[in-house]
Amino acid sequence: MNAMKTRKVKMPVLLCMVVLSVMLLAGCGEKEDAGENGTALTGQSESGDKENAKGEEKDKENKEGEEGGEDEKDEEESKDVSREEEAVEKEDGITPGEGKYPKIEIKTELECGDYWEEIIQGIEKQYSTDRKGEIIFYGASNFARWTTMESDMKEYKVQNHAFGGSKDVELVYYADRLLFPYEPKIVFFQTGSNDYVDLSGTDAEKVEKCMEYKKQMFAAFHEQMPDAKFVIMSGLLLPGRAEYLDLTLTVNEQLKQLADETDCLYFVDANEFTYDGTDFVEKLFVEDGIHLKNGGQILWYRNYIKPAIEQVITENGMDSVRR
């Protein structure tokens, strides 16, 4: 009986020991699994962090690239706009290089009119600034209305940059667009009563003011175009402005004296062309008595302008203005 009891006791103990061993083995296995899983998770976490960091870096690079691309795009668009604006300027007749030449400002009581822009743009469209080193006619209406000038003077390279009704103050104002960019060899100036009809004072005071302004104008033009020669046509004696006859004669006399004293200046005396000392030669003019007919323009050219061109060419070796 005692032996039997002893066996009953031993078997449960052995069973417990077996169960305990299995449990311990199972626990170790779980720990190992947990350790392996923990290592795997940690590896995944570190790898994920690295991948995330790389992704963030790549996103940053992409963003910077996009921003850089946007900047380049903006810059290119800005260039395109500039090109378009320049093209518009050319179409409008506005010199893209406007501002390259100085605006000359000379003191005078006269003001520059603000109604010339369309005419100035028309001249710019007609004559390309590629045409440099030619003869430019610059002045008021008796040049401006000479629409056949280039064919009438076909022996020479000429450009008509005159605009009717202009005064010296306006010739100065638009010189940075109508004179300087063309670098002319010879410039013919035709001015007259437009320059003093609006001046205040007596005739003597008007002459003084007019001549002072002309002196400054020619000096400023010579400074900007030192190699050019300037030919001053005498103010035409006009039947339609007979009241300014004596004043115009006086200005012409002083212009001749100025030209005699200045190397770059030539003077063409055409007083006898339209006035014989007693009467005006009215047949040369249209009905207003101010503007020459084309026949009158041809005579003006043949008898006065062409000889002056030949003199300037001969004395200064400017054969390049011939066609």
- Domain locations in the chain? 1-78, 117-321
Helix, strand, or coil (residue 212): helix
CA 211 to CA 82: how far, in whole Å? 44
DSSP label at 53?
H
What is the predicted pLDDT for the residue at 50?
47
User: What integer pLDDT is reported at residue 306 of this predicted model?
Assistant: 98
Local confidence pLDDT in tens for the 323 residues of the chain: 444 444 444 444 445 454 445 454 445 444 444 444 443 334 444 444 545 545 555 555 555 555 555 555 555 555 554 454 444 444 433 343 455 777 777 777 877 777 889 999 999 999 999 999 999 999 999 999 999 999 999 999 999 999 988 999 999 999 999 999 999 999 999 987 888 888 899 999 999 999 999 999 999 999 999 999 999 999 999 999 999 999 999 999 999 999 999 999 999 999 999 999 999 999 999 999 999 999 999 999 999 999 999 999 999 999 999 99
pLDDT of residue 110: 79
User: Which tokens belong to 241?
Assistant: 């402005």
AA identity, residue 36? E
CA distance 91 to 68: 34
Q: pLDDT value at position 201?
A: 93
Q: What is the pTM of this model?
A: 0.70
User: CB of 123 within 8 A of CB of 178?
Assistant: yes
Instruction: Write out the DSSP string of 96-164.
Output: TTTTSSPPP----S----S--HHHHHHHHHHS-TT--SSEEEEESHHHHT-TTHHHHTTTB-EEE---T
pLDDT the model gives residue 99: 59
Predicted confidence at residue 107, as pLDDT, reads 73
Q: Which CATH class is domain 117-321?
A: alpha beta
Contact (Cβ atoms closer than 8 angstroms) between residue 297 and residue 146: yes
For 288, which DSSP code?
A: T
* b/e sequence 3-34, b meaning 16+ C-beta within 10 Å: eeeeeeeeeeeeeeeeeeeeeeeeeeeeeeee
Distance CA 217, CA 106 (A): 8
For residue 64, the model assigns a pLDDT of 54
- Residue type at position 323: R
Q: Is 289 left (phi over 0), alpha (psi -120 to 50) or beta?
A: left
* Nearest in space to 294 (alpha carbons), one of 304, 283, 310: 283
pLDDT value for 35: 44
Rounded to an integer, what is the distance from CA 213 to the centroid of its chain? 28
Give residue 45's pLDDT. 43
Query: Please, are residues 95 and 144 in contact by the beta-carbon 8 Å criterion?
Result: no
CA angle 299, 304, 308 (to 5 degrees): 140
Dihedral, 167, 169, 173, 175 alpha carbons, nearest 10: 60
